[in-house]
């Protein structure tokens, strides 16, 4: 029982290595392991078959899978659906590796009774498990960590995979332990192991294909929705900016009218206040690109309210190859991230943001720099890890990356001396 349980435990542990653990994980885990060892002593195939006959074989395997499954549900703090899916997939991979080993042994003509008696066969078995589990870890578990549980296939795929897995396990127990005459037949043995490997492979690859497609579709849908919303938001912001310009124009005429009146301390003070307000709105951004002006104006007003100094050196003509909503998305998200980081800095003199848009040697660069006072974590895909919570978090950085790659741009980040820099470089502005 113990050897069988640990065959299940290894791929299960790999599946849940990055999963959030429950509060008492390190207390419960040793208790479960000790319980397993004790249970393995009492729950043995020969004892169960003596009591229940052939049904004892099925009870033996059911108890093993059930105990491992209960351990998963007790130790880890994620919803039931991801738990069950990860556990099912771990069992599929274990079952696949097991049948591949058996198929190799069958083809090589090694007697079944000798498989677990020779050190060399055990080394081969261990090597196969290491290779398959490494592939599983790299292509599924690491990708799942990066993409999230919402990328897992739906309930239909889970139920289908689980049903096929149960069929394979029941069939395996029946042939190996009950229909021993078939199991001992070399020709049938090769056919059975080939059938099992093929079915396992199909289930794994179909599930993984759906997993990859689901996440890609979710990301694309989310990005398109975000870009669509930003397109609408840009139009609204542009109308607001036009209204601000009209207001500024009216205020200038009012100031001139006030100046023609007799001098007084109150009048002069009123004029000075009005001029400051006009200068705030009028002199923020004139880059030669209406979209860039719109974004910078909006973000500069926020910076002014929050005590952040935003400096801009931008040649707006350099981003004419981008669509309006793409410019709005890139600059809006870059400046939003910089503002968020600046607000967390206690030293107000370091609440500085620099935006540069320039061209040199036919290469266009967008650069944003700001100070930060906390460690910045990097995700597996290279993007900075967001501090925001909830649905849609992190999609600002993904939008930037998505648009940059669309135009063959190179997105890079640098963190040094508490200065965060992000640059987007476009060489071929097609």
Q: How does DSSP assign 242-293, residue by residue?
A: HHHHHHHHHHHHHHHHHHTSPP-HHHHHHHHHHHHHHHHHHSS---S-HHHH
pLDDT value, residue 366: 96
The CATH architecture to which 284-430 belongs is 2-Layer Sandwich (3.30)
Which backbone phi and psi does 16 adopt, to 5 degrees?
Answer: -110, 15
Q: Could you tell me which residues come within 8 angstroms of residue 19 by beta carbon, excluding any fewer than 6 positions away?
A: 76, 77, 78, 82, 86
Q: Give CA separation, 254 vs 59, 142, 257, 279, 281, in Å.
A: 90, 64, 5, 14, 16
pLDDT at 379: 47
Where helices occur in 283-323 by DSSP H, the ranges are: 290-306
Q: Which residues contact 150 (CB under 8 A, 6 or more apart)?
A: 215, 218
Q: How far apart are CA 211 and CA 163, in angstroms?
A: 18
pLDDT (0 to 100) of residue 391:
42
Q: Identify the three-state secondary structure at position 393.
A: coil
- Whether the model clears a pTM of 0.75, i.e. scores above it, the answer is no
Closest CA to 161 of 68, 64, 89: 89
- Distances in Å between the alpha carbon of 226 and those of 84, 220, 323, 343, 408? 32, 10, 14, 24, 21
Q: What local confidence, expressed as pLDDT, does residue 342 receive?
A: 92
Spell out the domain ranges in the chain.
2-223, 284-430
Q: Which positions ≥6 away from 366 have C-beta within 8 Å?
A: 319, 330, 331, 334, 355, 356, 357, 423, 424
Supply the pLDDT for residue 232.
55
Q: What is the pLDDT along the chain (430 residues), one digit of tens a residue?
A: 556 777 788 888 888 998 888 888 889 888 888 887 777 777 777 888 888 888 888 888 888 888 888 888 899 988 888 888 889 888 888 888 888 888 888 887 766 666 556 677 778 878 888 898 898 888 888 877 776 666 676 677 778 788 888 888 888 888 888 887 777 787 888 888 888 888 888 877 777 666 555 555 656 655 564 555 556 556 655 655 665 666 666 666 666 766 666 656 656 666 666 666 555 555 456 788 878 887 888 788 788 888 899 999 999 999 988 887 788 889 988 999 999 989 988 888 899 999 999 999 889 999 999 998 766 555 444 455 555 544 444 457 778 888 888 888 999 888 888 889 999 999 876 5
For residues 339 and 306, the answer to whether their CB atoms sit within 8 Å is yes
Confirm if 377 and 336 have CB atoms less than 8 A apart: no
């Amino acid at each position: 029982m113990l050897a069988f349980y640990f065959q299940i435990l290894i791929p299960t542990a790999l599946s849940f290595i990055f999963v959030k653990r429950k509060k008492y994980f390190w207390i419960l885990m040793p208790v479960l392991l000790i319980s397993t060892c004790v249970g393995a002593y009492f729950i043995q195939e020969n004892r169960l078959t003596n009591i229940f006959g052939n049904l004892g074989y099925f009870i033996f395997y059911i108890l093993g899978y059930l105990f491992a499954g209960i351990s998963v549900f007790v130790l880890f703090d994620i919803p039931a659906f991801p738990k069950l899916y990860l556990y099912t997939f771990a069992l599929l991979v274990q079952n696949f590796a097991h049948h591949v080993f058996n198929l190799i042994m069958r083809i090589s003509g090694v007697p079944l009774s000798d498989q677990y008696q020779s050190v060399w066969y055990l080394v081969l078995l261990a090597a196969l498990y290491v290779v398959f589990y490494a592939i599983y870890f790299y292509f599924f578990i690491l990708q799942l960590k990066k993409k999230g549980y919402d990328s897992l296939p739906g309930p239909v795929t889970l139920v289908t995979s689980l049903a096929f897995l149960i069929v394979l396990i029941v069939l395996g127990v029946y042939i190996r332990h009950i229909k021993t005459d078939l199991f001992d037949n070399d020709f049938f043995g090769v056919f059975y192991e080939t059938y099992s490997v093929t079915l396992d492979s199909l289930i794994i690859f179909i599930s993984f294909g759906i997993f990859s497609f689901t996440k890609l579709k979710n990301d694309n849908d989310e990005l398109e929705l975000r870009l669509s919303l930003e397109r609408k938001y840009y139009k609204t912001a542009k109308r607001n900016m036009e209204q601000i310009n009209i207001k500024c124009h009216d205020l200038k005429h009012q100031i001139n009218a006030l100046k023609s009146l007799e001098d007084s301390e109150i009048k002069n003070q009123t004029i000075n206040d009005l001029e400051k307000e006009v200068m705030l709105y009028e002199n923020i951004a004139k880059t030669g690109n209406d979209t860039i002006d719109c974004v910078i104006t909006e973000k500069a007003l926020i910076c002014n309210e929050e005590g952040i100094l935003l400096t801009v050196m931008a040649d707006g003509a350099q981003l004419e190859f981008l669509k309006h909503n793409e410019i709005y998305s890139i600059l809006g998200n870059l400046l939003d991230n910089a503002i968020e980081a600046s607000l967390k800095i206690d030293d107000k003199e370091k609440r500085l943001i620099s935006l540069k848009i320039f061209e040199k040697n036919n290469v266009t660069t967008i650069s944003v720099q700001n100070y930060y006072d906390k460690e910045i974590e990097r995700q597996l895909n290279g993007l900075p890890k967001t501090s925001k919570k909830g649905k849609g978090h992190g999609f600002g950085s993904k939008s930037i990356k998505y648009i940059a790659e669309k135009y063959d741009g190179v997105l890079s980040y640098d963190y040094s001396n508490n200065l965060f820099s992000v640059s987007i470089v476009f060489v071929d502005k097609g």
